[in-house]
């Protein structure tokens, strides 16, 4: 709609496709940047200079675990969506066959909810329920609010989220490879990561149509709070 | 709909409300069970018996970081949804005022997409566009696919997800407090966590209408894979 009206359906679908990929990247990257950053920050205050390798062992183990959990989590979510859609589709076809009057009432209810007059409601229901496929399609989309999911989505989504998590996670972790004590690593890691979170938050907010500066600051503050809290928790236990 | 038809709107809204809370718990718990479990598993193979405390320092730091990142992430997501809805709402009111003909065409396009005859389309458009509030409401819901978000959702969602993450995360971590070496802790943790993941996956699948046994196994396998991968990564670096 709006300025894209001329572009039509193809344009809209392309737009939705790329926004789904961006959503996956946003999901993966934001957790990837935040959690390994906070974990490494927490450990940097708890392990001595002799055990700095433990920071990146734990960090890399977390990246491995987190990317698989999120990536496969995304895959499962996609699969579940497809299974759910198919089971509801089957049920709607079944109901249209078994209890057509009740289903017809539900179509009428939809049009009545739109505020149309009784006359137009009746006519719309009559036309809508002529073709069984169209009828079920309508029930799926407007009564249950379910869009037909792309069967390839689950796999793509898993890969995008998992990969983004690894890329995001390596950023806060990398400084610890080059320093001799945890706190020096933390300082460099905090600067790099908070800058990344700021730009990432800015970009993310632009995508979703929210005030970019406010969004950037919010994302950065979450990262800082998570790291600060992990640091305090680790220090408290160690004492 | 279906068997709930008699219950009407209130019933449906209650149903959606509780399913949103369950969704939050499911999101928080599944990651809470999986990631701290996998991280502790990874570290159990990499730290000696003298440093078993590092497993739970890292584990608790991860739970602190993860619960804040996910909880505040949920809060941000909720806030973003509200901001997005309000900015689109403003735009629709503006367009209905400025370019009513184009907006009227878009309403007609919707009814034409449903497969209604030209006559019913015309009548429906006429009735629909009489009341400006109803018209905009319609555009928001059926053209943009946006439902009015609950302004209290963001806060509740943040708390539910974060709290579930902490509860989920303490389960795989707890055995390490009572053992003297990492691998013994891992054995107990793996048994407890995989059993929990199985039940959790079963319950989650029931909620979403997917085959419960298949879903339970899938969730459990993701947890096992994440832990296995973290274990291998940590071992490889340590060597």
Backbone angles phi, psi at B40, to 5 degrees: -60, -40
* Whether pLDDT at B220 is above 60: yes
Contact A131, A93 (CB under 8 A): no
Q: Is A58 on the interface with B (CB under 8 A)?
A: yes
Closest residue to B39, CB basis, from A46, A65, A127: A65
- Alpha-carbon gap, residue A42 to B166, rounded angstroms: 16
**How large a percentage of chain B has pLDDT more than 90?**
25
A132: closest CA among A112, A107, A159, A152? A107
CB contact under 8 A, B38 and A65: yes
* Whether pLDDT at B128 is above 60: yes
Closest residue to A120, CB basis, from B43, B95, B123: B123
| CB < 8 Å to A102, chain B | 5
* pLDDT one digit per residue (tens) for chain A, 239 residues: 333 333 344 455 555 566 778 877 877 787 789 899 999 999 998 887 778 888 989 999 999 998 988 888 778 777 777 887 888 889 888 888 888 888 888 888 888 877 788 888 888 888 878 888 888 888 888 878 787 887 777 788 888 889 999 999 999 999 999 988 888 999 999 999 999 999 888 887 777 667 889 888 988 999 999 999 999 998 888 76
Mean pLDDT over B25-37 rounds to: 84
ipTM: 0.74
- Alpha-carbon gap, residue A130 to A146, rounded angstroms: 21
Residue of B nearest to A27 (CA): B73
* Whether pLDDT at B11 is above 60: no
* Whether pLDDT at B103 is above 90: no
Residues in chain A: 239
Task: Provide the pLDDT for residue B136.
Answer: 86
| CB < 8 Å to A119, chain B | 123
Task: Provide the pLDDT for residue A3.
Answer: 36
Contact B47, B182 (CB under 8 A): yes
| CB < 8 Å to A95, chain B | 2
Closest residue to B209, CB basis, from A47, A87, A230: A87
- Alpha-carbon gap, residue A107 to A22, rounded angstroms: 36
Q: Strand, coil or helix: what is B147?
A: coil
Q: Is B6 on the interface with A (CB under 8 A)?
A: no
Residue of B nearest to A146 (CA): B145
User: How far does A187 lie from chain B, in Å, by closest CA?
Assistant: 18
Contact B80, B146 (CB under 8 A): no
Q: Is A85 on the interface with B (CB under 8 A)?
A: no
Terminal Cα distance for chain B, rounded? 59
DSSP per position, chain A: -GGGGGGHHHHHHHHHHHHHHHHHHHHHHHHHHHHHHHHHHHHHTTS-GGGHHHHHHHHHHHHHHHHHHHHHHHHHHHHHHHHHHHHHHHHHHHHHHH-HHHHHHHHHHHHHHTT--HHHHHHHHHHHTTSHHHHHHHIIIIIS--PPPPTTHHHHHHHHHHHHHHHHHHHHHGGGGS-SSHHHHHHHHHHHHHHHHHHHHHHHHHHHTS-HHHHHHHHHHHHHHHHHHHHHHHHHHH-
Contact A192, A201 (CB under 8 A): no
B81: closest CA among B19, B158, B153? B153
pLDDT band, residue B171 (cuts 50/70/90): very high
| CB < 8 Å to B57, chain A | 42-43, 46, 234, 237-238
| CB < 8 Å to B138, chain A | 114
| CB < 8 Å to A2, chain B | 91, 95
- Alpha-carbon gap, residue B39 to B43, rounded angstroms: 6
Terminal Cα distance for chain A, rounded? 60
Residue A73: CA atoms inside 13 Å, Cβ hemisphere, count? 26
CB contact under 8 A, A208 and B102: no
* Whether pLDDT at B4 is above 50: no
Q: Is B140 on the interface with A (CB under 8 A)?
A: no
Contact B147, B114 (CB under 8 A): no
Q: Is A54 on the interface with B (CB under 8 A)?
A: yes
Mean pLDDT over B177-199 rounds to: 92
* Whether pLDDT at B226 is above 80: yes
CA distances from B186 to A230, B15, B86, B121, B167 (A): 23, 39, 49, 65, 19
CB contact under 8 A, A38 and B51: no
**How large a percentage of chain B has pLDDT more than 70?**
91
Task: Provide the pLDDT for residue B46.
Answer: 83
Q: What is the dihedral of CA B175, B39, A30, A237, to 10 degrees?
A: 60
* Whether pLDDT at B127 is above 50: yes
CB contact under 8 A, A128 and B115: yes
A234: closest CA among B55, B175, B46? B55
User: How far does A214 lie from chain B, in Å, by closest CA?
Assistant: 11
Q: Is B102 on the interface with A (CB under 8 A)?
A: yes
| CB < 8 Å to A143, chain B | 1
Q: Is B131 on the interface with A (CB under 8 A)?
A: yes
Task: Provide the pLDDT for residue A100.
Answer: 84
- Alpha-carbon gap, residue B192 to B177, rounded angstroms: 14
Backbone angles phi, psi at B179, to 5 degrees: -120, 165
B42: closest CA among B218, B200, B176? B176
Q: Is A136 on the interface with B (CB under 8 A)?
A: no
- Alpha-carbon gap, residue A75 to B207, rounded angstroms: 18
| CB < 8 Å to A218, chain B | 76, 79
Q: Is A84 on the interface with B (CB under 8 A)?
A: yes
| CB < 8 Å to B22, chain A | none
Backbone angles phi, psi at A46, to 5 degrees: -110, -25
User: How far does B82 lie from chain A, in Å, by closest CA?
Assistant: 10
CB contact under 8 A, A38 and B61: yes
Task: Provide the pLDDT for residue B176.
Answer: 93
Task: Provide the pLDDT for residue B15.
Answer: 53
């Amino acid at each position: 709609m709006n300025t894209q009206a001329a572009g039509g359906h193809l344009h809209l679908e392309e737009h939705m496709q790329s926004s789904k990929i961006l959503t996956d990247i946003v999901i993966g990257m934001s957790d990837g940047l935040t959690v390994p950053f906070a974990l490494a920050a927490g450990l940097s205050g708890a392990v001595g200079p002799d055990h700095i390798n433990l920071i990146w062992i734990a960090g890399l183990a977390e990246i491995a675990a987190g990317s698989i959990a999120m990536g496969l989590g995304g895959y499962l979510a996609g699969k579940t969506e497809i299974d759910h859609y198919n089971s509801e589709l089957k049920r709607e076809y079944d109901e249209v066959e078994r209890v057509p009057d009740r289903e017809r009432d539900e179509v009428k209810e939809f049009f009545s909810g739109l505020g149309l007059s009784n006359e137009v409601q009746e006519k719309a229901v009559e036309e809508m329920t002529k073709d069984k496929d169209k009828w079920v399609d309508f029930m799926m989309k407007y009564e249950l609010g379910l869009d037909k999911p792309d069967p390839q989505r689950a796999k793509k989504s898993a890969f995008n989220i998992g990969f983004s998590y690894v890329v995001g996670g390596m950023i806060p972790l990398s400084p610890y490879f080059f320093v001799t004590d945890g706190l020096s690593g933390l300082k460099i890691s905090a600067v790099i990561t908070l800058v990344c979170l700021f730009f990432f938050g800015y970009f993310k907010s632009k995508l979703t149509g929210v005030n970019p500066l406010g969004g950037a600051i919010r994302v950065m503050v979450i990262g800082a709070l998570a790291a600060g809290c992990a640091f305090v928790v680790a220090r408290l236990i160690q004492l």
